[in-house]
Amino acid sequence: MTIIAVTGGTGFIGRHLIEGLTAAGHDVVALTRREAPPRPGVKWLSGSLHDSASLRRLINGAEVVVHCAGAVKARSAQAFDTANAQAVSRIAGIAALQSAPPLLIHLSSLAARQPELSPYAASKAAGEGALARLRDMPWVALRPPAVYGPGDQEILKIFKSLKYGLGLVPGSGEGRLSILHVRDLVAAILALTAADRTAVAGAIFELGDPREDGYTFSEIYDIAGRVLGRRARLIGVPRRLLTTTAQINRAMARLTGSTPMLTPEKVAELLHPDWVARGPKLGERIPWSPQIGLEEGLRETLAWYRAEGHL
């Protein structure tokens, strides 16, 4: 049994992670900004990533720290940097001061491979850079692609559009991307908690599902349509239209005080032709390999949407 500290435990990935960690018999200490429901094996600590005192309480005594928290949308490059780079540096600095420094597992993003594309990608790369500057502190960074599964809201949008027989794909729809079921990601983290630290310390791993060459958006729609039993007419959305829509979206967000998801920088990410996970491969260092193919994962996710009344 290991004491594992978790950030981002109330998010989509974090909820699955905590379920997996407690099922494996670990004790979890999780940071939360709002009241969280009690659950066996979990101690919730009130605090934030910006508060060093709460981070010290979180990390003190932990043998492993899993940093899942982060921002996928923000109002400015500075806000992305605060959430995705400075928080990593703060956590790592506190962990390094422990008498027995824990293994820090950082959930980065495949976007960190292309920091020039967007403030989000740059902030994820900067977070990895903060880890790389550490000395005598065991860490590993994971770069997952799009992660889906029960509870995810992005794949739901695909199923909903398929109900109407349409599929909107960015650009030509022929760029390739990896995708990963959340249970495979949790399994990777669990494998790291049990691994020999010398085999993984200081490494960055890109993760994907069993299909190593990834998928096109068109293939994802085809597989989702087969699962749903509906075929869709795919419509490519040109870059100019995507960018114009993103600019309008940003302007409206400024007027309403909200945080936009679709921005011109996000369009650059969407249209990047290669988001296929490559090396180094985690399975070459420790016993782990992805088990859930896209069709199997989508069937499970669709069943959850239907059970929850979303479709």
Question: 251-297 pLDDT, tens per residue?
Answer: 998 999 999 889 999 999 999 999 999 988 999 999 999 999 999 99
Residue 134 has a pLDDT of 86
- Specify the DSSP element, H or E, that contains 101: none
How many independent structural domains does the chain possess?
Answer: 1
| Token digits of residue 43 | 């101690």
pTM value > 0.85: yes
Question: 6-31 pLDDT, tens per residue?
Answer: 999 999 999 999 999 999 999 999 99
Q: In this structure, is residue 64 part of a structural domain? A: yes
Residue 271 has a pLDDT of 94
Range of the domain at 13: 3-148+181-209+276-290
Q: In this structure, is residue 232 part of a structural domain? A: no
Q: Is the Cβ–Cβ distance between 191 and 258 less than 8 Å?
A: no
Q: In this structure, is residue 141 part of a structural domain? A: yes
Residue 16 has a pLDDT of 98
User: How many angstroms separate the CA atoms of 288 and 293, rounded?
Assistant: 15
Residue 309 has a pLDDT of 95
- Specify the DSSP element, H or E, that contains 120: helix 119-132
User: How many angstroms separate the CA atoms of 311 and 303, rounded?
Assistant: 9
User: How many angstroms separate the CA atoms of 262 and 246, rounded?
Assistant: 5
Q: In this structure, is residue 236 part of a structural domain? A: no
Q: In this structure, is residue 200 part of a structural domain? A: yes
Q: In this structure, is residue 233 part of a structural domain? A: no
| Token digits of residue 250 | 């940003």
List of the chain residues with pLDDT < 70: 1
Residue 1 has a pLDDT of 65
Q: In this structure, is residue 36 part of a structural domain? A: yes
User: How many angstroms separate the CA atoms of 55 and 96, rounded?
Assistant: 12
Q: In this structure, is residue 304 part of a structural domain? A: no
Residue 37 has a pLDDT of 84
CATH number of the domain to which 63 belongs: 3.40.50.720
Number of residues that make up the chain? 311
